[in-house]
A = this chain, B = another copy of it.
Amino acid sequence: MRVKILQYLRETDGFVSGEDLSRTLGVSRAAVWKCMEDLRLEGYKVEAVSHHGYKLVAVPDKLIATEVQHGLGTRKFGCHVHFFDEIPSTMDEAFRLGMNGAPEGIIVTAESQTKGRGRLGRSWVSPKSKGLYFSMLLRPALSSSEAARLTLLSAVALSEAVESFSGLRPLIKWPNDLLLNGRKLAGILTDLRAEVDRVDFAVVGVGLNVNTLSKELPPEGVSLKEVLGQACDRVGLLREFLRAFEKRYLNLKKQGFAPSLEEWRRRSATIGRRVQFEERGCKREGVAMGLADDGGLLVQLDSGETVKRMAGDILLEMKGKNA
């Protein structure tokens, strides 16, 4: 009902009379009034004028279901939104939903995370209402070794979404970071529950610095606002991502990972660059030559030997410093 009234308000330019709403929806005037109160509690600004009725003046800048789903147009992703004002981690909540049998496409969004996670047990700084922090539940027909490529696919979709939304084209640092001007804009994390040869479910999580201030970011971080010089609509960017992701994800059944890996290569910040990494305590250096079809990074070491890196970190060597 609340959703219907909101839609009604959105579609009307001027005022909507309470009587009209009550008649159209077949509910009492009191029920209409109650809905308006609920919408206001969620952050919607609804003007009410005697003898004129109600008018929607402003929508909240929050990752709530009614905002995320407005004009979304996806088939699966975002069709259920679990919103939290504050949560330890959207990853863990989405994992819990997966354990309880929730369907594919559910997303968990939060205005802030108290224990936002990055890769390899690191933390992700999640200041309130500044960034996009969300996780999606996936139930793909993949083995756990294939699932590494979900991170790559998600990175491509996120880079595409940022580009079509802002005109900026973030590059992808293998395997899961988005960079703008060499600084970290976003990170992507994939958690699995799997039998070793079959994924039960996966949770893909995104942390993206949208309107985060530089003083709130780690030294290597960057936000869209910093680069664009103006605040961005987080909800609009989330919708853009959900559409881009769903398109690539649903295409897996037809074309597999190949098209996403191809696009990953085009958006790569890593290929062709000198890289450093550690292997069993031993520092190695070389040039990143390409992305293997299984998602591994091919590195030609200075010794001439070519190795494939499947996990862990790499450092991109820069003039005089590392990123």
B-contacting residues of A (Cβ < 8 Å)? 95, 99, 119-120, 143-145, 147-148, 150-151, 175, 189-198, 200, 310-312
For residue A189, which residues in chain B have a CB less than 8 angstroms away from its CB?
A: 195
15 cross-chain CB contacts under 8 A: A95-B193, A120-B195, A120-B198, A143-B310, A144-B145, A144-B192, A145-B145, A148-B196, A151-B196, A191-B195, A192-B195, A192-B196, A196-B311, A197-B312, A198-B311
**Min CB–CB distance A192 → chain B (angstroms):** 5
For residue A119, which residues in chain B have a CB less than 8 angstroms away from its CB?
A: 195, 197
Across the interface, do B196 and A150 meet the contact criterion of CB distance under 8 Å? yes
Across the interface, do B193 and A148 meet the contact criterion of CB distance under 8 Å? no
Q: State the main secondary structure of chain A at its contact with B.
A: mixed
Q: How far is the CA of A143 from the CA of B99 in the complex (A)?
A: 21
Across the interface, do B190 and A192 meet the contact criterion of CB distance under 8 Å? no
Integer count of this chain's copies in the complex: 2
For residue A95, which residues in chain B have a CB less than 8 angstroms away from its CB?
A: 99, 193
Q: How far is the CA of A200 from the CA of B193 in the complex (A)?
A: 10
**Min CB–CB distance A146 → chain B (angstroms):** 9
**Min CB–CB distance A246 → chain B (angstroms):** 20
Across the interface, do A197 and B310 meet the contact criterion of CB distance under 8 Å? yes
A311-B143 in contact given A148-B197, A197-B148, A198-B120 (Cβ < 8 Å): yes
For residue A148, which residues in chain B have a CB less than 8 angstroms away from its CB?
A: 144-145, 196-197
Q: How far is the CA of A99 from the CA of B190 in the complex (A)?
A: 16
Checking B175, B193, B198, B200 against A197 with a beta-carbon cut-off of 8 angstroms, the contacting residue is B175
What residue of chain B has the Cβ atom nearest to residue A142's Cβ?
A: B311
Q: Which of A148, A191, A197 has the most CB of B within 10 A?
A: A197
A190-B196 in contact given A144-B144, A144-B147, A145-B144 (Cβ < 8 Å): yes
**Min CB–CB distance A19 → chain B (angstroms):** 53
Q: How far is the CA of A150 from the CA of B150 in the complex (A)?
A: 23
Q: How far is the CA of A78 from the CA of B139 in the complex (A)?
A: 33
What residue of chain B has the Cβ atom nearest to residue A295's Cβ?
A: B196
**Min CB–CB distance A321 → chain B (angstroms):** 25
The 5 closest A-B pairs by CB, nearest first: A197-B311, A145-B145, A148-B196, A144-B144, A143-B311
For residue A198, which residues in chain B have a CB less than 8 angstroms away from its CB?
A: 120, 311
What residue of chain B has the Cβ atom nearest to residue A152's Cβ?
A: B196
Q: How far is the CA of A311 from the CA of B150 in the complex (A)?
A: 18
Across the interface, do B311 and A194 meet the contact criterion of CB distance under 8 Å? no
Q: How far is the CA of A144 from the CA of B194 in the complex (A)?
A: 9
Across the interface, do A193 and B195 meet the contact criterion of CB distance under 8 Å? no
For residue A196, which residues in chain B have a CB less than 8 angstroms away from its CB?
A: 144, 147-148, 150-151, 190, 192, 311
Across the interface, do A194 and B197 meet the contact criterion of CB distance under 8 Å? no
**Min CB–CB distance A207 → chain B (angstroms):** 14
What residue of chain B has the Cβ atom nearest to residue A120's Cβ?
A: B198
**Min CB–CB distance A120 → chain B (angstroms):** 6
